[in-house]
Structure 1
Amino acid sequence: MRSTFSPARARSRFVALGLALATAASVLVAGAATGAATAAGAPDLHGLRVLITNDDSARGLDAGFGTDGKGLYELRKAFCAAGADVLVVAPWSQQSGAGARMTSPGFAPVPLTVQAVTPPAAYAGDCAAASTGGAVFGVCQSAGPCSSSTPTASPADAVNVALSRFAKTYWADGPDLVLSGVNFGQNVGATLNHSGTVGAAVTAREYGVPAFAFSAEVPRDLAQIPFVPFAQTAAFATDLVAKTVRSKQLKPGLVLNVNYPFVAAGETLGKPVSTVAGTSNDIGLTFNGDVPRTGGTYQLSAGTPAAETRKNADTTALAANRISVTRLDGDWTWTESAGLLTVLLTLFG
């Protein structure tokens, strides 16, 4: 999920995570800390098959702010430059805040069309050496060609159709890794459940494919939005993935949520740190107005995020200009509840 109204210093969003998962992520963060920006060139990722998706759309139509896919194209550019074999399958249109929503066929089949997209001119030749040619596809919910009026598929839909069927037309045994992003806006704290960027990564986990979600922080100052750190986030992404591969940590079930800070003039970028999901709400959603018991209309707007209450939170790290790396379990089961459930269920005899 993204928000152009999120404060540059206050952050937050996702499900509560176990400290054991955060500890496992620290192994990767420690390695990445030595090379957050690879000055000597891109890491070597030759042979790595990468499926890229996002929740900002595949088409990259917004050349100004980059709200609908610029981050995806920067990620594609960086990984192709590092030698990875890249295929893009993403929603046809903007799907910020879609979470892990997936199209349901109900009692009749629902058509999902995977349609080729021409990359923006600035990124046209980035992946010429890849076996896939860096092919880009958008997914819409239609039996015919996708258009401006066609309902779009969700980020989870895009991953679902790619990993179950479409990616096999390029790689017989599928990708080695799924990347989601680079998202326009941070995905931290209590609102992670609603993030389409994270939802796509969690969907990849259902197929046993490791997945990383990358997000770039949006500043509160609207004049600074053209400078959202897409390219910097993409450079860090290649470095993190390379270190994950070299350390033999790229394993099924691995899901990382990475948030790269917007560093204003006079500020300094901090190191990558292992974090847990915060409890605050990055957007601070507020319902304004008084509605009687008979019903009526509220005005929903962005407000002030609540103070963070969790130690080592992603929200706190991002507020300090550190690169937040959180390992997600992608599993709703709370193992610590086993004792409680045993007591409750014995009451049923």
Structure 2
Amino acid sequence: MKVTTTSIRRRSSVLVVGAAIAATVLTLGGGAQAASPAPSLAGLKVLLTNDDSARGLDAGFGTDGKGLYELRKALCAAGADVLVVAPWSQQSGAGARMTTPGFSPVPLTVQAVNVPAAYAGDCSSSSTAGAVFGVCTTAGPCSSSVPSASPADAVNIALSRFAKTYWSDGPDLVLSGTNFGQNVGSTLNHSGTVGAAVTAREYGVPAIAFSAEVPRDLAQIPNVPFAATATFAVDLIAKAVKYKMLKPGLVLNVNHPFIGAGETLGKPVFTVAGSSNDIGLTFNGDVPKTGGTYQLSAGTPAAETKQNADTTALAANKIPITALDGDWSKSAPGLLMLALMGK
């Protein structure tokens, strides 16, 4: 019972810290855009990653890293020292998948990325000069024709080796995002954005995953709130620094809502991961016993069954903040323990 008790205490402390951070940002009101003066993150060493790739090839819609560059811009403007190590190519839905060597070593190449022109000068004054790297699973060079590393790979290689070439004692924080699309409910189990943050926990580095909601009206996709999410992220991190809440084991998942015409941005709220997934993946078509092809598409999400769920908060245009323990273990029911022990 000693291990189980320790696990429970650790989980409880993480949740308490997460709740405390959420409580401190309630004063930010409608998403922190009106906060003044601008918060400072001077000296904070931030490793930034995502699952939308490091290259930012799709500058218009954001499906290939625009959210990362908007977050990088806001962090550097607030004085943070930012190093980007992210997948070479889009890795949505990768979860916490990691490349494994099998019976022989596997090469992983960390390759410098040309920063999109609109963001080129954002971090020039920091010690890293805002360096951006993509990671692929080949001996190099990385290209669109070679396999990309996963978000977890990027964090793993950065925290175990590469980040030390820039900081001898960092980073202080790992950020993952801003993701193109929300990561709430059961989607968390499969999110590459969240998987990267959970991987940071294995190294004892606090981590926060940020996602921006994609509207169901596809014509509004160019208006995904990357800039607003980045502004909120800086305010949230500044609060966490001020109250000394960036501690090992802390993993937060934050989702910023899309605000349509006539809608109002709600306040940040502390939530739990919901049971629905906000996507409603559907396999269409009939396949005989001999096999065949289904068509996978987004459908109607299942009704949410949990109280205080992140899915419900996001649907109400609030900003859900969910503390994750990054630990899948759970205390076994007493009767099950006795049965397995043969008593």
TM-score by length of 2: 0.93
Structure 1 residue 27 displacement after superposition: 1.4
Partner secondary structure for residue 156 of structure 1:
helix
Partner secondary structure for residue 333 of structure 1:
coil
Task: Indicate the residue corresponding to 2:321 in structure 1.
Answer: 325
Aligned match of 1:344 in 318, 323, 339? 339
The 1:340–1:217 alpha-carbon spacing in structure 2 relative to 1, beyond 3 Å, is farther
Aligned match of 1:72 in 68, 74, 86? 68
- Contact 1:19 / 1:276 at 8 angstroms: preserved in 2? no
How many correspondences in the alignment? 330
The 1:147–1:41 alpha-carbon spacing in structure 2 relative to 1, beyond 3 Å, is farther
Question: After TM superposition, which residue ranges in structure 1, 4 or more long, deviate above 6 angstroms?
Answer: none
Rounded to whole Å, the distance in 1 between the matches of 2:204 and 2:16 is 21
User: Do residues 129 (structure 1) and 125 (structure 2) align?
Assistant: yes
Partner secondary structure for residue 252 of structure 1:
coil
Task: Indicate the residue corresponding to 2:5 in structure 1.
Answer: none
- Contact 1:119 / 1:136 at 8 angstroms: preserved in 2? yes
User: Do residues 30 (structure 1) and 23 (structure 2) align?
Assistant: yes
User: Do residues 247 (structure 1) and 240 (structure 2) align?
Assistant: no
The 1:317–1:346 alpha-carbon spacing in structure 2 relative to 1, beyond 3 Å, is same
Query: Given residue 28 of structure 1, which amino acid in structure 2 is its aligned partner?
Result: I
Rounded to whole Å, the distance in 2 between the matches of 1:23 and 1:166 is 32
Partner secondary structure for residue 305 of structure 1:
coil
Task: Indicate the residue corresponding to 2:4 in structure 1.
Answer: none
Deviates more, 1:248-257 or 1:31-40: 31-40
Query: Given residue 342 of structure 1, which amino acid in structure 2 is its aligned partner?
Result: M
Contiguous gaps of at least 5 residues in structure 1 = 1-17
What is the 5 A alignment of 1:241-320?
Answer: 241-320=237-316
Contiguous gaps of at least 5 residues in structure 2 = 1-10
Rounded to whole Å, the distance in 2 between the matches of 1:204 and 1:189 is 21
- Contact 2:18 / 2:250 at 8 angstroms: preserved in 1? no
Task: Indicate the residue corresponding to 1:110 in structure 2.
Answer: 106
Identity %: 78
Partner secondary structure for residue 192 of structure 1:
helix
Rounded to whole Å, the distance in 1 between the matches of 2:180 and 2:18 is 23
Aligned match of 1:186 in 182, 186, 192? 182
Task: Indicate the residue corresponding to 1:234 in structure 2.
Answer: 230
Partner secondary structure for residue 56 of structure 2:
coil
Deviates more, 1:291-300 or 1:203-212: 291-300
Rounded to whole Å, the distance in 1 between the matches of 2:335 and 2:269 is 33
Structure 1 residue 26 displacement after superposition: 2.3
- Contact 1:53 / 1:158 at 8 angstroms: preserved in 2? yes
Rounded to whole Å, the distance in 2 between the matches of 1:106 and 1:21 is 34
- Contact 1:274 / 1:325 at 8 angstroms: preserved in 2? yes
Rounded to whole Å, the distance in 1 between the matches of 2:171 and 2:34 is 25
The 1:114–1:226 alpha-carbon spacing in structure 2 relative to 1, beyond 3 Å, is same
- Contact 1:100 / 1:202 at 8 angstroms: preserved in 2? yes
- Contact 1:22 / 1:274 at 8 angstroms: preserved in 2? no
Rounded to whole Å, the distance in 2 between the matches of 1:123 and 1:34 is 31
User: Do residues 200 (structure 1) and 212 (structure 2) align?
Assistant: no
Structure 1 residue 338 displacement after superposition: 5.2
- Contact 1:256 / 1:328 at 8 angstroms: preserved in 2? yes
Cα-to-partner distance string for 1:78-119 (whole Å, 9 max, x where unaligned): 110110110000000000000000001000000000000111
Structure 1 residue 174 displacement after superposition: 2.3
Query: Given residue 144 of structure 1, which amino acid in structure 2 is its aligned partner?
Result: G
- Contact 1:38 / 1:235 at 8 angstroms: preserved in 2? no
Partner secondary structure for residue 94 of structure 1:
coil
- Contact 1:42 / 1:235 at 8 angstroms: preserved in 2? no
Partner secondary structure for residue 186 of structure 1:
coil
- Contact 2:14 / 2:250 at 8 angstroms: preserved in 1? no
Partner secondary structure for residue 212 of structure 1:
strand
Structure 1 residue 281 displacement after superposition: 2.0
Aligned match of 1:214 in 204, 210, 213? 210
Structure 1 residue 340 displacement after superposition: 4.2
Partner secondary structure for residue 167 of structure 1:
helix
Partner secondary structure for residue 214 of structure 1:
strand
- Contact 2:14 / 2:249 at 8 angstroms: preserved in 1? no
Task: Indicate the residue corresponding to 1:7 in structure 2.
Answer: none
User: Do residues 87 (structure 1) and 83 (structure 2) align?
Assistant: yes
User: Do residues 53 (structure 1) and 49 (structure 2) align?
Assistant: yes
User: Do residues 156 (structure 1) and 152 (structure 2) align?
Assistant: yes
RMSD: 1.4
Task: Indicate the residue corresponding to 2:167 in structure 1.
Answer: 171
TM-score by length of 1: 0.92
Cα-to-partner distance string for 1:227-266 (whole Å, 9 max, x where unaligned): 0000100111011111011111110000000000001010
Rounded to whole Å, the distance in 2 between the matches of 1:334 and 1:76 is 36
Cα-to-partner distance string for 1:37-80 (whole Å, 9 max, x where unaligned): 25435311111100000000000000210101000001100110
Rounded to whole Å, the distance in 2 between the matches of 1:53 and 1:345 is 42
